[in-house]
Structure 1
Amino acid sequence: MTLATHVRTLGRGPGRSRSLTREEAAEAMALMLTGEAAPEAVGALLMLLRMKGETAEEIAGLAEAAQAAMPAAPRADLDWPSYAAGRTRGLPWFLLSARLVSMAGHSVLLHGWNGSDGAVRAGLAAAGIPVLGGAETLPPGAIGYLPLEQAHPALFSLLNLRGVLGLRSCVNTVCRMLNPGRAPASVQGVFHPSYRLLQADAAALLGWRSLSVIKGGGGEVERHPGKDVEWFGLRDGQPGQGVYPAHAQLQHRLSELPGAVGLAEVWSGEATDPLAEAIVIATAAVALDTLGHAHPEALSRALWATRRTQLAA
């Protein structure tokens, strides 16, 4: 079967076209990842899915095929994708949140690609997060970042078609659902609220155990501490949703916060930025809640207060 078969299924027109089944979506992704499918067919399929709107079954099939084609990656307790691109959101304070979660004894695997926005990659060193080069073991309390272009070149090529097509595609969502470390818990950020439930439903189909999807700063897993933030996802494999209540007086958009103070300075305590600290603590609490901690807000604050005694060498 060629990719054209699946393009035909999606593009026959009103009354004749239909969504792909999970199995068909998996086969379509497998064909695209080989690099042997006609580029015209790849572009047509991705744009037809975008115009129609992806279903949870399609995302689940695409994601499981992408994961199956990926080389071994470090196992982790928490999966943390970072794929927002094209929207300036200010400094990536969520990197400090991920580091805070690792202090609670959880291994954290970040992975991603952010297009022309180099803020995340530039912030890794400042946040004390090493870039991983392969399937290194992540012991309890360890943290690392896996670049998509190194970890899954074929999927990266599909993601990079955004520059050719001029639009994002379902590959962005697939990357968020990749979970390369097969972690039992995952936190995900989206820019468009409708994707929260889509990704939660796809995760349920894939048999995931714990997931929180929020509308985060610039599409990243970054919680606004001055707003009530709704989450969709899974707890113990069952669908769930709730609200993380505001806990700070902060009316600005995250992208409007002053960026004069850097990640390293705030982490080390050389500089004080109450707004940045509120973002870090609030975002870490989302991850700690997803990991099953009973009092995530209190634990996040306690970890932040003791971080200076646990700085990496």
Structure 2
Amino acid sequence: MSIAAYLREIGRGKDGARALSRAQAFDLMSQLLDGQLSDLEKGGFALAMRIKGETPEELAGFMDAVVPRTLPLQAPSSAIVLPSYNGARKLPNLTPLLAGLLAREGVPVLVHGPLTDATRTTSAQVFDALGWAVATTPAEAERPWSQQRPVFMPISALHPSLAQLLALRSVLGLRNSGHTLAKLLPAVPGALRVVNHTHPEYAISLGDFLNQTGATAMLLRGTEGEPVADARRLPTLKCFVNGVMEDALTLEGEGGSLAKLPDLPTEIDAATTARTIQAMLEGHQPVPEPITRQVQSLLALRQRLH
């Protein structure tokens, strides 16, 4: 079945394009994920949506198609999901630190994303350097969770068809809707999601999506696109419970000039990052205060899942 009718709606440029309904978005994404579209149609969709931008209703429809095609996972208790798709470019990737701090509190933590990136240090590489589990099946995730260890799962195992959509970036040179969907993916049923954005305008659209879909999640401007708070200064942590932002749980970001820089390495390679994280987890080096506050906020928010 052709998606030409949908492309005519979304492909008229930033000002002329019209949004799809939730049902139309579901149908389009279902065809894409099931391999029913040509490469030309996939490219047309990716570029059209990149120019137009997704509405919350379109994201909800896309997600309606994405969720049933996700590898089924079952955590022993309410999990926290950390999407890790950007990696480290200038600062150490401390997403595994956040995962480790939460896991030692007895929380099943799933980190998902790519295994490698040509220009960045991925969470998967840091996990490997720490000797932590990289799982590709539900059974492989169970043992680390039982040992209070976080689990990393590559998107290629968690959602192969979504991984193929992400792979269009290497051909087109641009991100597409798949990257937004990956960061919103409810990878474990009933989990608390940490949703991060890089550009301020996404704070609005992603917040609207969380509201419209009744999600329990934390929304923040991530560190270089990662779901961990900036070690230098606390960003605003918006906490949503069943789609409603809770002022009592939300933490306002820090302003003004930095009074003190945390003790972080200048190197961002996986081995150096792993040594730093291990030192923090063992108490030999202080955990940056913004990350400690993020952990506390997530634990409080997780209580609202019960």
Which of 144, 159, 171 is the equivalent residue of 1:164? 171
Q: Which runs of 5 or more residues in structure 2 are unaligned?
A: none
Distance in 2, matches of 1:91 and 1:225, equals: 10
Question: Which residue does 1:93 correspond to in 2?
Answer: 94
Identify if the C-alpha distance between structure 1 residues 246 and 267 changes in structure 2 by more than 3 Å, giving closer, same or farther. farther
Distance in 1, matches of 2:227 and 2:89, equals: 14
Alpha carbons 2:81, 2:193 under 8 Å: kept: yes
Letter of the structure 1 residue corresponding to residue 205 of structure 2:
L
For the aligned residue pairs, the C-alpha RMSD in angstroms reads: 3.0
Distance in 2, matches of 1:98 and 1:14, equals: 38
Question: Cα offset for 1:95?
Answer: 0.7
Alpha carbons 2:109, 2:150 under 8 Å: kept: yes
Alpha carbons 2:89, 2:121 under 8 Å: kept: no
Distance in 1, matches of 2:246 and 2:200, equals: 16
Most deviating of 120-129 and 62-71: 120-129
Seq. identity, %: 23
Which of 164, 177, 186 is the equivalent residue of 2:184? 177
Answering whether residue 302 of structure 2 is matched by residue 291 of structure 1, we say yes
Most deviating of 136-145 and 2-11: 136-145
Most deviating of 144-153 and 276-285: 276-285
Identify if the C-alpha distance between structure 1 residues 266 and 185 changes in structure 2 by more than 3 Å, giving closer, same or farther. closer
Distance in 2, matches of 1:81 and 1:19, equals: 26
Q: Which runs of 5 or more residues in structure 1 are unaligned?
A: 294-313
Normalising to structure 1: TM-score of the pair?
Answer: 0.80
Question: Which residue does 1:80 correspond to in 2?
Answer: 82
Normalising to structure 2: TM-score of the pair?
Answer: 0.81
Alpha carbons 1:98, 1:284 under 8 Å: kept: no
Question: Cα offset for 1:3?
Answer: 1.8
Answering whether residue 194 of structure 2 is matched by residue 187 of structure 1, we say yes
Question: Which residue does 1:121 correspond to in 2?
Answer: 124
Letter of the structure 1 residue corresponding to residue 259 of structure 2:
Q
Most deviating of 151-160 and 188-197: 188-197
The number of aligned residues is 288
Question: Which residue does 2:4 correspond to in 1?
Answer: 4
Moved over 6 A (4+): 13-16
Distance in 2, matches of 1:120 and 1:140, equals: 20
What does 1:1-313 align with in structure 2 at a 5 Å threshold? 1-12=1-12, 17-75=17-75, 77-84=79-86, 88-113=89-114, 115-116=117-118, 117-136=120-139, 137=142, 138-139=145-146, 141-208=148-215, 210-240=216-246, 242-246=250-254, 249-250=259-260, 258-259=266-267, 262-268=273-279, 272-274=284-286, 277-278=288-289, 280-292=291-303
Task: Give the SS at the match of 2:47.
Answer: helix
Alpha carbons 1:225, 1:250 under 8 Å: kept: no
Identify if the C-alpha distance between structure 1 residues 277 and 251 changes in structure 2 by more than 3 Å, giving closer, same or farther. closer
Letter of the structure 2 residue corresponding to residue 249 of structure 1:
A
Question: Cα offset for 1:108?
Answer: 1.0
Identify if the C-alpha distance between structure 1 residues 176 and 265 changes in structure 2 by more than 3 Å, giving closer, same or farther. closer
Q: Structure 1, residues 57-94: CA drift from partner, whole Å, max 9, x if none?
A: 11111122111122312435211111125x60432222
Task: Give the SS at the match of 2:96.
Answer: helix
Identify if the C-alpha distance between structure 1 residues 189 and 2 changes in structure 2 by more than 3 Å, giving closer, same or farther. same
Identify if the C-alpha distance between structure 1 residues 13 and 82 changes in structure 2 by more than 3 Å, giving closer, same or farther. closer
Distance in 2, matches of 1:24 and 1:12, equals: 17
Question: Cα offset for 1:266?
Answer: 4.4
